[in-house]
Structure 1
Amino acid sequence: MCSERRVKEILGIWVLSLCLVWVQNGVGVHSSSPTEESQPYRTGFHFQPPKNWIN
């Protein structure tokens, strides 16, 4: 019984350490959509009408 408790404690510490390392390193996320500079005439809204559809 004591060894089972010890295994759970070690496993808990290991999982906590793993989570802390993951949080400290972070996850780099980059946008896959083009930036505003590359398409200056496109609206920031998600809908873009077809050509000559609006005045």
Structure 2
Amino acid sequence: MKEPKYTKDDLKIMQAWSLERKIRVTQTKIMEWYMTFEGGVLYFLQRWQGQHGTA
């Protein structure tokens, strides 16, 4: 089984973050993911929707 990315302590700390910080972190993760897939996010979502029926 794969090790969890975050510990319980990490999650408690992140829960205490302000909404603004949570939004900034989320935006950063989305941009990193977008660059990793070289803008192929729409293609990925279309394929995922086809497999699962929702996006």
What TM bracket, shorter-length normalisation? Answer: 0.3 to 0.5
Which entry has the higher C-alpha Rg, 1 or 2? 1
Query: Which protein is richer in helix relative to its size?
Result: 2
TM-score of the superposed pair, with normalisation by structure 1: 0.39
**TM-score, normalised relative to structure 2:** 0.39
Q: Which has the higher contact order (CA 8 A, sep 6+)?
A: 2
